[in-house]
Amino acid sequence: MKIVSVFLIFLTHLNAQEATFGPEIEFRSAKALKSAAICGSITAAGLPFLINELTKDSEELTKEDRMIINSLSALTGAYLSGITCEAIMKDMEIVKFKKYMRLYCLETKNCSVMEEGRHFRVQYPNGWYWEVTKDDYVMEIKAKPATIETLSEVVKRVEVDLYQQAQRMGFYIPYRIDKFTGGHLSIGIKAAFNNDAILLRNFIVDFINHDEIASGILSKDYGNAKPYLRDIHQYEKLEEIISKFDRGEISGNQFYLALSELDRNFSFNIHDGLLEIRALRSQKKFEDFLLQTKLFKGRIEYLKTLDGPVELIKWGQAIPTSNHQAMATNFAHYVRESGQELNDYLHLIPEKYHLHFQKVMNSFLFCLKRQREQGLSN
């Protein structure tokens, strides 16, 4: 297969020389969930309850508090829908978390809170930050994209400042290793792929080929992060884009634009200069996000060593999800080829794959031991 070498020309506003990665972490509020029953059938008579919930823990009302109360008061005498109610409850919880973090940063003196309406940002002296926004069903945390070195430096701080403080305020990670919770990871394209469209193409094809990642190993969320090898219509669209690029019919920039127009609710998508890996479970610890980051960076480095294009698996050749051995073995090879230790990733995959994954680990360790023994004997 002939492939034309074309360089990407987009994203000139990103000047970082090292690959940067940004997490998206989902938290849910236990208190908001408990109030869901009220939201199901609430009428104007329930408005005083919501207003009281917002104000009872506060000595004074902020501008954001008053905005929420005004929106509630405007609904007096009218039916308040469940959707509106849940949205207001989430706003209330985020406002309370913002107040808490403002006091926390003042006390610890290692961070500051920057307000952006109902959302807010927790910033550190080194310029790194994480910000709180509201998604459809969760409180979403987005962090400033950073290198692996920077992320390694802030792991312990994030565990204490975000995970522990959010838990104290009644938030939790909706983590179930056997369920479809989402924790996305974004990769800055220009720095990570060095403007090399072929490398980006190979990473995408390789990620699709390793269908086990999105079909059970690191995720199984067919509603928000469906694998391309499980949807014939999207697979055909992607296959056509890749074929056109391989034949030299479209440039690197056109390749990027075509990918960005694909359905976003699949295992990956491209937008705003980022490659977003969606097929990941929520990160129970920030250290897990760091492990996933190292895995994908290592994979990019591995792909640089290959000659020529990675061939896209044909439709119908995906490993059956019932074949746990093949799924686990495939992922184990993905991890090893990416230069990572298999044992580090065992806790990220469901237990039904553990035995097969450990067999590959033991086989690799046996081979490594034999190589060392042969080296000593020589």
Tokens (6 digits) for 185: 């990871």
Q: How far apart are CA 9 and CA 98, in angstroms?
A: 40
68 in a domain, yes or no?
Answer: yes
Domain extent, residue 78, equals 21-144
286 in a domain, yes or no?
Answer: yes
> Is 210 in the same domain as 316?
yes
> Is 263 in the same domain as 331?
yes
What average pLDDT does this structure show over 62-90? 54
Last residue of a domain, one of 112, 144, 176: 144
Q: How far apart are CA 10 and CA 20, in angstroms?
A: 16
Last residue of a domain, one of 144, 164, 195: 144
Q: How far apart are CA 195 and CA 165, in angstroms?
A: 39
Per-residue pLDDT tens digits for 84-109: 556 666 677 788 888 899 999 999 99
DSSP of 58-84? -SS--HHHHHHHHHHHTTTTS---HHH
> Is 199 in the same domain as 347?
yes
> Is 130 in the same domain as 215?
no
> Is 124 in the same domain as 251?
no
What average pLDDT does this structure show over 331-351? 94
Kindly tell me if the per-residue pLDDT of 32 is higher than 80.
no
116 in a domain, yes or no?
Answer: yes
> Is 351 in the same domain as 265?
yes
50 in a domain, yes or no?
Answer: yes
Residue 238 CA: distances (Å) to CA of 79, 189, 231, 280, 356: 45, 18, 11, 21, 32
Minimum mean pLDDT range among 54-63, 73-82, 173-182: 73-82
Residue appearing with tokens 């109610």: 85
Predicted pLDDT of residue 183: 79
Last residue of a domain, one of 144, 174, 196: 144
Phi and psi, residue 180, nearest 5°: -95, 65
Per cent of the chain over pLDDT 90 is 49
45 in a domain, yes or no?
Answer: yes
Domain count across the chain = 2
> Is 68 in the same domain as 214?
no
232: CB partners within 8 A, 6+ apart: 315
102 in a domain, yes or no?
Answer: yes
> Is 207 in the same domain as 301?
yes
339 in a domain, yes or no?
Answer: yes
> Is 130 in the same domain as 216?
no
Q: Is 299 exposed, middle or buried (0-12, 13-18, 19+ CB in 10 A)?
A: buried
> Is 34 in the same domain as 122?
yes
Q: Which residue has the higher pLDDT, 39 or 96?
A: 96
Kindly tell me if the per-residue pLDDT of 296 is higher than 70.
yes
Q: How far apart are CA 104 and CA 164, in angstroms?
A: 12
> Is 201 in the same domain as 83?
no
> Is 95 in the same domain as 195?
no
Minimum mean pLDDT range among 7-21, 190-204, 294-308: 7-21
7 in a domain, yes or no?
Answer: no
Choose the most confident range, by mean pLDDT, from 11-20, 118-127, 182-191, 306-315: 306-315
The pTM is what? 0.80
Kindly tell me if the per-residue pLDDT of 377 is higher than 70.
no
